[in-house]
Structure formats: structure tokens, C-alpha cells
Amino acid sequence: MKDEEEEGNPRQELSESAESRRTLRQRSDENVSRKPQASERGRGSEKGRRKQRVKRRGEATPHREGLTAVNETAVRTSEKKHVCPECGKICDTKSHFVQHFRLHTGEKPFECLKCGKRFNQRAHLNVHQRIHTGEKPFECLVCGEYFRTKAHLVQHQRVHTGEKPFECLECGKRFSASVSLSIHQRIHTGDKPFKCLECGKRFSQRGQLNVHQRMHTGEKPFECFECGKRFSSNSSLYMHQRSHTKAKPFECLECGKRKSCFVEHQRIHTGEKPIECLKCGKRFSASSSLYMHQRSHTKEKPFECLECGKRFTATSSLRTHQSIHSGEKPFECPECGKTFRCSSYLSGHQRIHTGEKPFECLKCRKRFCSSTSLSIHQRIHNGEKPFECLECGEYFRTNSGLIQHQRIHTGEKPYECIECGKRFRQRGGLITHQRTHTGERPYECCECGKRFTQRIALIKHQQIHTRKKR
């Protein structure tokens, strides 16, 4: 048994070795079949080397060999462009197209976690967040001031360089910022996109609307630290503070006067009136003058006297009126000591002493010491009588003429003589009457020296001399 086993083992070993040789031969054949022929490998490697040489030389790839360099660029560009289906705008990248399309959809996916305000671009959110963090990474190298955005820095630097690259095509005025030009152009177009929901009044600037709305709310967030007076706008506070500092930082080279509003003052000398009322065509040198004038068309009188309820179109008119109740006359003439309620009355009065009459009527060349007197005089030529009596329908050239006339209907005689108690409808009547007590006769005849208490009496007397000469 043992010998048989020993003889059987060699036969088994031979069969196993033969089987393993067959397996190895099959694997070798499979590997050979997978490998490309040598000629094919050579051709393939040659093609790869040729492609690399073409790429290095910057030559056109085979499927674009017939295109010129310009056409090739056009093909590449057209592949990248994205056209907006709403407005037709072409965007270079898909991300730009997505951002642009949010303008049409109103989508604002980026929210500020501090205040809840939403934005259509992440970059706008990042800039907004600097308001909360106080971060101002952009520094002006000239004055050291910091800004939240690069655009604000660039705009600020134009203050130092004097550059004003944005020009109004209507009037030629130039601006340092495009947004300032856009706001200015609304003067010419009359566009007022911002509407007050309380009264329906419209404004050309959002800031003007915000200030106006404070009239309805009574809000006055800007306080003067000197006297505690509060204001509805920062500009009003700034102007008020100059009353404490007496600052007038701008000197006029024409007349030497120092002014806080230099540009508007210069227009007095140049006669420039660039701001036009779209209702009547009247022109003004300052936008504030136009703003007040427009109330004559709208009949708006937003400023009310708390003493008597009378309403006014301007705060300055209200302040002048209030001095009637208080009796205050803070403006004194250095020549004669006469006092006035407002500075404009004093300026007009001082021209009596200087004899200056800078306002001339173009119709008859008559000159006046105040623009108000000229305006009233011009109504003689144009026949305008804008003030109507509601009792009898009679019209008058001046408001004071209407008031005096209305006293005929009411019987009011507000002017009383202190000497005898007699009352008069007009101040002129009281002054003339008081001369009977004082004996004053201010009107003298140049021919004979006779004196009179009234100008009309002098005129009648002078006719005697005129008849004698004939």
C-alpha cells in the first residue's frame, strides 16, 4: 500500500503542473489581445505629439482651422453670452445673468440678520452690513477720511481734485457724482417720483419727502446743543448753528460780503436764474425760492401761527408775523435808530438814507429801493390785481390795499390817536391827524416857502404858482 501511494503522487504532480501551464498560457494570450499593435502605438503617440506641438504654437485646432482669429473669438464669445428674455440685455456669465434677472423678478434672497433688510446681491449685503459694524475700509490719502465703499471714496476724492465728469446736457452744469446729475435733471424734466401718502404732494428727492413727512408727524430729530432748539432737517440745524457762531465762511469777490450760501448769492451779480417754474415760466436763482413760489399755485400754507391761526407759505413769513404778537423788533437802523421786525425791512429802509434804488422797471425806467415795490409797481403796467374782496368782488393790486378796503365792510378802525381818542382805518390817516396836535408841517412849497401837513395839500397849492406862470 505504501509503495502504491508513493507511485501515485508523481502522477498527480504532473497533472497539476500541466494544468497550471495551460492557465498561464491563456492569460498571456488575453494580455496580448488587449495591447495595441506596435504600429498603432507609434501612430497614436505621433498624433499626441502633434497635438501638443499645435497647442504650444497657438495654432487653430483641426475643427477650427478654417476660421480667422476674429471669427474664432466671436464663436467663443457667443458661447458665453446669456440674453435676458425680459429686456434683451446680454450678460457675459451665467452668474451675472442670474443677478440681473432678479431686477425683473424682485427676488432678494440675501437678508441682513441685524435689521431684516433684503438685497438681490451678496455684495450689496456685505456693503450694507458695514453700517452695523461701523467698518470703513477705504481711506482717503489726502485728508485721512474713511468710507464704507470704494465708490464713495472715488466720489469724495473729486472734492480734492475738483473733477466734475458728469455734465447736464440741458444747461451745461457739471457734477462730481452721477446721482447728483440725475437729481439735477429732474429740475428740467419736472419729474417728481416721490409722493407723500398723507397729502399727495410729490418731490424730486427722497430726502425732501422725508423732511416733508415730518410736518405731518411733528418729528424734529435734529437738536441744537447750544440752545436746545429742534429742527426737522439736518440742513436747517446747520444753518441755525451759524447764528451762534456768526460764521459766514464764503466771501464774495464782487461785493466783499460774506455769505453762508455762496452759490446763490453770486447769482445776484450774474443775474442767473436757472430754475424755472413749470406752471408759469417764472425763473428763480435758488431752488428754495421756486419751492416757496410753487405754493402760490397750490395755495398751500403749511405754517400756522399758534396765536391767531393765520397760515403762511414760509417759516420766515411766520416768524415775521409772530413778532406782531410779541412786539419784538430786533433789527435797528444805525442811522436813525428805527427798529424793524425783519432784516429785509431794515435793508429796504436803509436805502432811504443811501438813496440807492437798484430795482428798475423795464417799462418806464422808474427805479425802486426794493424788489417788492417794483413788483407792485409793475401791476400798473400789466393791469394785474390779484387780491379780491369776497364781500363786493372788487380787486386790488396789493394785499394791504385789500385789507384797508375790507375795513369799510367791517367798520374796523384799528389806529387810535393817543391825544384825542379818534380812530382811523389807515395808519396814514392817523399820522396826518397827529400833525394837528404837534403842529408839524413837513411838506414845503419851493416857490413861496409855505408848509403843509399833507402832500396832497402841497400839490394843490403848487397849482396856484403854475397858473400864475402861464
Q: Please give the angle made by the CA atoms of 382, 384 and 388, to the nearest 5 degrees.
A: 170
User: d(Cα 450, Cα 365) in Å, to the nearest integer?
Assistant: 32
List the pLDDT tens digit at each of the 470 positions of the chain: 444 444 444 445 445 555 655 655 555 555 444 444 444 444 444 545 554 544 444 444 433 343 343 333 333 344 557 888 888 888 888 888 888 888 888 898 999 998 888 988 888 898 888 888 989 899 999 888 898 888 888 888 888 888 889 999 988 888 888 888 888 888 888 888 888 888 888 888 888 888 888 888 888 888 888 888 888 888 778 777 777 776 665 667 667 666 556 667 677 777 778 888 888 888 887 777 887 888 888 888 888 888 888 888 887 788 888 888 888 888 888 888 888 887 878 888 888 888 888 888 888 989 888 888 888 898 899 988 888 899 899 999 888 889 889 999 999 998 899 989 999 888 888 888 998 999 898 889 998 999 988 888 888 898 888 887 76
C-beta of residue 244 within 8 angstroms of C-beta of residue 227: yes
Angle at 243 between CA 241 and CA 246, to 5 degrees: 105
* Nine cell digits for residue 335: 442811522
Report whether CATH 3.30.160.60 matches the domain 80-163.
yes
Cα angle: 94, vertex 97, 100; to 5 degrees: 155
Query: What count of other Cβ atoms lies within 10 Å of the Cβ of residue 240?
Result: 16
